Amino acid sequence: MAWITPKTNWAAADVPTKDDFNRVEGNIADIAPAYSSGNVTYSDTIAASATLTKTIPIGANKRQGRLFVRNASMGGPMGVSVFFTTSQTRSIGIGYESTNGFIYATAWNNSVANGDSILGQNTEYLYMKNAYISGTNLVIIFNNGDSEIAKTLNASVDWEVW
């Protein structure tokens, strides 16, 4: 339903009608963000020094979102939250680094999520480099930073966009 200009001249004796309620509900639907969400699991081998790009169809008119990535075989709450927009240079990851026991935040150019068992078993040098919305797709870029050994990505990604 398209936006209908609200009634602004209400008087004390006015009683809302079904048309008033339909207008209010239609206007709420018109301005509410179209929210979409889902889950996907990736199990891929990434060659040494290679990049893997994954796309998820999300529909039109999405401007921002977040995803949570974790080791698909381990499950549990350990993982990284990544916040992203339509910009290819603005995603930010927030996670917990288990080796040193600290919370970290990192920007797109440093990798928004790194191995340390988050992206699979024995995944040192395996990174999620970026996440962003491109047209009608969510784009997620993984990278194997190891120049000698292929790595196996085994990640579960919960995502939502609006």
pLDDT digits (tens, 9 = 90+) for 81-113: 889 999 988 788 877 655 555 566 666 555 555
pLDDT value for 103: 61
Mean pLDDT of 122-140: 86
pLDDT at 21 > cutoff 50: yes
Candidates 161, 162, 156, 160; CA nearest to 69 is 156
CA 130, 106, 120, 67 dihedral sign is negative
Q: Torsions phi, psi of 43, nearest 5? A: -135, 95
Q: How does DSSP classify residue 108? A: G
pLDDT at 32 > cutoff 80: no
- H or E segment at 157? strand 151-161
Beta bridge partners of 82: 67, 93
pLDDT value for 81: 87
pLDDT value for 33: 66
pLDDT value for 138: 96
Distance CA 153, CA 146 (A): 13
Percent of the chain with pLDDT over 70: 78
pLDDT value for 77: 62
pLDDT value for 130: 87
- At position 23, the amino acid (one-letter code) is R
**Quick one: tokens of 113?**
């999520």
pLDDT category at 145 given cuts 50, 70, 90 is confident
pLDDT at 45 > cutoff 80: yes
pLDDT value for 117: 46
Give the domain ranges of the chain. Answer: 36-161
pLDDT at 35 > cutoff 70: yes
CA 80, 160, 137, 39 dihedral sign is positive
